[in-house]
Amino acid sequence: MNFNRFSDLFERSACNPRLGSDIMDFAPPSSPHQKIARAYDKASEKYDNYVTGDNFLLKILKKIALGLDKEAEIECRNIIRKMLSQIREGTVLDIPAGTGLFTFEEYLKHPNILFIAAEYSWGMLKQAHKKIKELGAKNILLVRADVGNLPFKTACFDAVLCLNGIHSFPEKEKAITEMSRVLKNNKSLHGSLILRGERWLTDLILETAYYRLLWFTRPALSRKEFLEVLQRNRLKTSSLKLIKAAAAFEATKII
Protein backbone atom coordinates (compact mmCIF):
# COMPACT_ATOMS: atom_id res chain seq x y z
CA MET A 1 0.00 0.00 0.00
CA ASN A 2 1.33 3.41 -0.93
CA PHE A 3 0.38 5.40 2.15
CA ASN A 4 1.98 8.57 0.76
CA ARG A 5 -0.48 8.55 -2.14
CA PHE A 6 -3.27 7.84 0.32
CA SER A 7 -2.46 10.66 2.75
CA ASP A 8 -2.15 13.16 -0.12
CA LEU A 9 -5.87 12.75 -0.81
CA PHE A 10 -7.06 14.22 2.46
CA GLU A 11 -7.83 17.79 3.44
CA ARG A 12 -5.64 19.12 6.23
CA SER A 13 -8.79 19.92 8.16
CA ALA A 14 -9.93 16.30 8.08
CA CYS A 15 -10.02 14.75 11.52
CA ASN A 16 -7.30 12.30 12.48
CA PRO A 17 -8.70 8.90 11.54
CA ARG A 18 -9.53 6.24 14.07
CA LEU A 19 -8.10 2.91 13.00
CA GLY A 20 -9.85 -0.38 13.63
CA SER A 21 -9.37 -3.69 11.81
CA ASP A 22 -7.47 -1.89 9.02
CA ILE A 23 -10.42 0.46 8.44
CA MET A 24 -9.70 4.18 8.67
CA ASP A 25 -12.63 6.05 10.18
CA PHE A 26 -13.08 9.64 8.99
CA ALA A 27 -16.83 9.76 9.64
CA PRO A 28 -18.04 12.73 11.72
CA PRO A 29 -19.57 12.00 15.14
CA SER A 30 -23.09 12.71 13.88
CA SER A 31 -24.56 12.21 10.42
CA PRO A 32 -27.97 11.78 8.77
CA HIS A 33 -26.61 8.43 7.58
CA GLN A 34 -26.58 6.88 11.06
CA LYS A 35 -30.06 5.30 10.85
CA ILE A 36 -29.41 4.04 7.33
CA ALA A 37 -26.07 2.59 8.46
CA ARG A 38 -27.73 0.63 11.24
CA ALA A 39 -30.18 -0.87 8.73
CA TYR A 40 -27.30 -1.95 6.49
CA ASP A 41 -25.38 -3.26 9.49
CA LYS A 42 -28.27 -5.68 10.10
CA ALA A 43 -28.46 -6.67 6.43
CA SER A 44 -24.72 -6.87 5.78
CA GLU A 45 -24.28 -10.64 6.19
CA LYS A 46 -27.13 -11.37 3.72
CA TYR A 47 -26.46 -8.45 1.40
CA ASP A 48 -24.51 -10.40 -1.23
CA ASN A 49 -27.21 -13.05 -1.42
CA TYR A 50 -29.84 -10.38 -1.96
CA VAL A 51 -27.90 -8.65 -4.73
CA THR A 52 -26.97 -11.84 -6.60
CA GLY A 53 -30.27 -13.64 -5.98
CA ASP A 54 -28.52 -16.74 -4.64
CA ASN A 55 -31.18 -16.98 -1.95
CA PHE A 56 -34.51 -17.90 -3.58
CA LEU A 57 -36.72 -15.77 -1.32
CA LEU A 58 -34.44 -12.76 -1.64
CA LYS A 59 -34.38 -13.28 -5.41
CA ILE A 60 -38.18 -13.18 -5.54
CA LEU A 61 -38.25 -10.05 -3.37
CA LYS A 62 -35.81 -8.28 -5.67
CA LYS A 63 -37.70 -9.38 -8.81
CA ILE A 64 -41.03 -8.15 -7.49
CA ALA A 65 -39.71 -4.97 -5.91
CA LEU A 66 -37.35 -3.75 -8.61
CA GLY A 67 -38.21 -5.90 -11.62
CA LEU A 68 -34.55 -6.96 -11.75
CA ASP A 69 -32.72 -10.24 -11.74
CA LYS A 70 -29.37 -11.13 -13.32
CA GLU A 71 -29.51 -8.17 -15.71
CA ALA A 72 -28.71 -5.86 -12.77
CA GLU A 73 -25.62 -7.86 -11.87
CA ILE A 74 -24.47 -7.88 -15.51
CA GLU A 75 -24.94 -4.12 -15.80
CA CYS A 76 -23.03 -3.47 -12.56
CA ARG A 77 -20.09 -5.41 -13.92
CA ASN A 78 -20.33 -3.51 -17.21
CA ILE A 79 -20.21 -0.17 -15.35
CA ILE A 80 -17.09 -1.21 -13.43
CA ARG A 81 -15.27 -2.50 -16.51
CA LYS A 82 -16.14 0.60 -18.52
CA MET A 83 -14.78 2.82 -15.75
CA LEU A 84 -11.57 0.81 -15.46
CA SER A 85 -11.06 0.83 -19.24
CA GLN A 86 -10.68 4.62 -19.03
CA ILE A 87 -7.95 4.63 -16.35
CA ARG A 88 -4.44 3.18 -16.49
CA GLU A 89 -3.22 4.55 -13.17
CA GLY A 90 -4.27 6.98 -10.46
CA THR A 91 -6.86 6.94 -7.70
CA VAL A 92 -10.52 5.91 -7.69
CA LEU A 93 -13.17 6.57 -5.05
CA ASP A 94 -15.75 3.81 -4.68
CA ILE A 95 -18.66 5.01 -2.50
CA PRO A 96 -20.65 3.31 -1.11
CA ALA A 97 -18.29 0.38 -1.50
CA GLY A 98 -20.67 -2.06 0.19
CA THR A 99 -19.09 -5.49 0.58
CA GLY A 100 -16.97 -5.21 -2.56
CA LEU A 101 -19.11 -7.87 -4.20
CA PHE A 102 -18.60 -6.92 -7.86
CA THR A 103 -15.63 -4.61 -7.51
CA PHE A 104 -12.76 -6.04 -5.50
CA GLU A 105 -11.82 -8.89 -7.85
CA GLU A 106 -11.78 -6.44 -10.75
CA TYR A 107 -9.63 -4.01 -8.74
CA LEU A 108 -6.97 -6.67 -8.27
CA LYS A 109 -6.37 -6.62 -12.04
CA HIS A 110 -5.28 -2.96 -11.85
CA PRO A 111 -2.30 -2.72 -9.46
CA ASN A 112 -1.40 0.77 -10.70
CA ILE A 113 -4.67 2.17 -9.40
CA LEU A 114 -5.27 2.94 -5.73
CA PHE A 115 -8.90 2.26 -4.82
CA ILE A 116 -10.44 4.04 -1.84
CA ALA A 117 -13.41 1.91 -0.85
CA ALA A 118 -15.57 4.17 1.32
CA GLU A 119 -18.69 3.25 3.24
CA TYR A 120 -20.58 4.47 6.32
CA SER A 121 -21.94 1.13 7.62
CA TRP A 122 -19.55 -0.77 9.89
CA GLY A 123 -21.31 -4.03 9.03
CA MET A 124 -20.67 -3.58 5.31
CA LEU A 125 -17.08 -2.50 5.96
CA LYS A 126 -16.41 -5.62 8.00
CA GLN A 127 -17.70 -7.82 5.18
CA ALA A 128 -15.53 -5.86 2.74
CA HIS A 129 -12.53 -6.33 5.03
CA LYS A 130 -13.04 -10.11 4.95
CA LYS A 131 -13.01 -10.06 1.13
CA ILE A 132 -9.83 -8.00 1.01
CA LYS A 133 -8.07 -10.47 3.31
CA GLU A 134 -9.31 -13.45 1.29
CA LEU A 135 -8.13 -11.87 -1.97
CA GLY A 136 -4.85 -10.57 -0.56
CA ALA A 137 -5.59 -7.20 -2.14
CA LYS A 138 -2.90 -4.54 -1.68
CA ASN A 139 -4.40 -1.71 -3.74
CA ILE A 140 -7.72 -1.35 -1.88
CA LEU A 141 -8.00 0.80 1.24
CA LEU A 142 -11.11 0.83 3.40
CA VAL A 143 -12.37 4.15 4.71
CA ARG A 144 -15.42 4.96 6.78
CA ALA A 145 -16.73 8.28 5.49
CA ASP A 146 -19.91 10.31 5.11
CA VAL A 147 -20.68 10.90 1.42
CA GLY A 148 -22.27 14.25 2.28
CA ASN A 149 -19.11 15.43 4.05
CA LEU A 150 -16.15 13.80 2.32
CA PRO A 151 -12.71 14.33 3.91
CA PHE A 152 -10.90 14.37 0.55
CA LYS A 153 -9.29 17.26 -1.28
CA THR A 154 -11.06 18.94 -4.18
CA ALA A 155 -10.34 17.38 -7.60
CA CYS A 156 -8.16 14.52 -6.35
CA PHE A 157 -9.79 11.43 -7.91
CA ASP A 158 -9.44 10.12 -11.45
CA ALA A 159 -12.88 8.49 -11.25
CA VAL A 160 -15.72 8.06 -8.78
CA LEU A 161 -17.92 4.97 -8.67
CA CYS A 162 -21.33 5.06 -6.98
CA LEU A 163 -23.12 1.76 -7.51
CA ASN A 164 -26.63 1.50 -6.05
CA GLY A 165 -25.95 4.27 -3.56
CA ILE A 166 -27.71 7.51 -4.44
CA HIS A 167 -31.21 6.16 -3.74
CA SER A 168 -30.13 5.28 -0.19
CA PHE A 169 -28.49 8.64 0.61
CA PRO A 170 -30.66 10.90 2.82
CA GLU A 171 -29.15 14.04 1.26
CA LYS A 172 -28.91 13.08 -2.38
CA GLU A 173 -27.91 16.37 -3.98
CA LYS A 174 -25.38 17.07 -1.22
CA ALA A 175 -23.83 13.66 -1.90
CA ILE A 176 -23.63 14.31 -5.65
CA THR A 177 -22.15 17.73 -4.97
CA GLU A 178 -19.42 16.17 -2.83
CA MET A 179 -18.67 13.41 -5.34
CA SER A 180 -18.36 16.04 -8.07
CA ARG A 181 -16.12 18.20 -5.87
CA VAL A 182 -13.53 15.47 -5.30
CA LEU A 183 -13.54 14.39 -8.97
CA LYS A 184 -10.94 15.87 -11.32
CA ASN A 185 -12.10 17.98 -14.26
CA ASN A 186 -12.89 15.97 -17.41
CA LYS A 187 -13.09 12.77 -15.35
CA SER A 188 -16.25 10.74 -14.81
CA LEU A 189 -18.72 9.69 -12.16
CA HIS A 190 -20.02 6.21 -12.95
CA GLY A 191 -22.89 4.48 -11.18
CA SER A 192 -26.42 3.21 -10.91
CA LEU A 193 -29.54 4.03 -8.92
CA ILE A 194 -33.24 3.31 -8.65
CA LEU A 195 -35.43 6.09 -10.05
CA ARG A 196 -38.95 7.15 -9.14
CA GLY A 197 -41.63 7.09 -11.83
CA GLU A 198 -40.16 4.39 -14.07
CA ARG A 199 -42.18 1.43 -12.72
CA TRP A 200 -45.34 1.78 -10.66
CA LEU A 201 -44.82 -1.46 -8.70
CA THR A 202 -41.34 -0.38 -7.64
CA ASP A 203 -42.70 2.99 -6.49
CA LEU A 204 -45.37 1.19 -4.45
CA ILE A 205 -42.96 -1.26 -2.80
CA LEU A 206 -40.48 1.51 -2.01
CA GLU A 207 -43.24 3.30 -0.11
CA THR A 208 -44.60 0.22 1.66
CA ALA A 209 -41.36 -1.62 2.46
CA TYR A 210 -37.96 -0.27 1.44
CA TYR A 211 -38.32 3.16 3.03
CA ARG A 212 -39.50 1.54 6.24
CA LEU A 213 -36.57 -0.87 6.20
CA LEU A 214 -34.31 2.20 5.66
CA TRP A 215 -32.65 0.58 2.64
CA PHE A 216 -33.80 3.60 0.61
CA THR A 217 -34.59 7.14 1.71
CA ARG A 218 -37.20 9.69 0.68
CA PRO A 219 -37.47 11.49 -1.60
CA ALA A 220 -36.53 9.26 -4.51
CA LEU A 221 -35.33 11.09 -7.60
CA SER A 222 -37.16 10.95 -10.89
CA ARG A 223 -35.16 10.68 -14.11
CA LYS A 224 -35.65 14.40 -14.81
CA GLU A 225 -34.67 15.40 -11.26
CA PHE A 226 -31.56 13.22 -11.33
CA LEU A 227 -30.34 14.68 -14.61
CA GLU A 228 -30.97 18.20 -13.30
CA VAL A 229 -28.95 17.49 -10.13
CA LEU A 230 -26.05 16.23 -12.24
CA GLN A 231 -26.20 19.32 -14.44
CA ARG A 232 -26.25 21.70 -11.45
CA ASN A 233 -23.08 20.04 -10.21
CA ARG A 234 -21.10 20.40 -13.45
CA LEU A 235 -21.66 16.78 -14.44
CA LYS A 236 -22.51 16.28 -18.10
CA THR A 237 -24.35 13.02 -18.74
CA SER A 238 -22.60 11.00 -21.43
CA SER A 239 -24.73 7.87 -21.04
CA LEU A 240 -27.94 6.85 -19.27
CA LYS A 241 -29.27 3.32 -19.66
CA LEU A 242 -32.62 2.39 -18.14
CA ILE A 243 -33.36 -1.15 -16.94
CA LYS A 244 -36.86 -1.29 -15.44
CA ALA A 245 -36.68 1.13 -12.48
CA ALA A 246 -32.88 1.30 -12.50
CA ALA A 247 -30.54 3.60 -14.37
CA ALA A 248 -26.87 3.01 -15.22
CA PHE A 249 -25.08 6.26 -15.94
CA GLU A 250 -21.82 8.01 -16.69
CA ALA A 251 -21.38 11.75 -16.19
CA THR A 252 -18.23 13.78 -16.88
CA LYS A 253 -17.18 16.76 -14.77
CA ILE A 254 -16.89 19.81 -16.96
CA ILE A 255 -14.92 23.00 -16.29
Q: Quick: pLDDT tens for 208-227.
A: 888 988 889 998 999 999 99
CA gap 40, 203 in Å, rounded = 21
The per-residue pLDDT for 14 is 58
Mean pLDDT of the chain: 89
The per-residue pLDDT for 58 is 66
pLDDT greater than 90 at residue 179: yes
CA gap 118, 143 in Å, rounded = 5
Please give the CATH architecture assigned to the domain spanning 41-146+155-253. 3-Layer(aba) Sandwich (3.40)
The per-residue pLDDT for 254 is 95
Half-sphere exposure of 152 (CA within 13 A, CB side): 32
Q: Burial of 89 by CB count in 10 Å (0-12 exposed, 13-18 middle, 19+ buried)?
A: exposed
The per-residue pLDDT for 147 is 96
Give the residue, 218 or 28, on which the prediction is more confident. Answer: 218
The per-residue pLDDT for 44 is 85
pLDDT greater than 80 at residue 4: no
What confidence category does residue 15 fall into, taking pLDDT thresholds of 50, 70 and 90? low
What pTM did the predictor assign? 0.92
CA gap 65, 82 in Å, rounded = 27
Q: What is the pLDDT of residues 48-103, one digit of tens each?
A: 777 766 667 767 777 787 877 778 888 999 999 999 999 999 999 999 999 999 99
Give the rounded percent of residues in the chain with a pLDDT score beyond 90.
Answer: 65
The per-residue pLDDT for 9 is 86
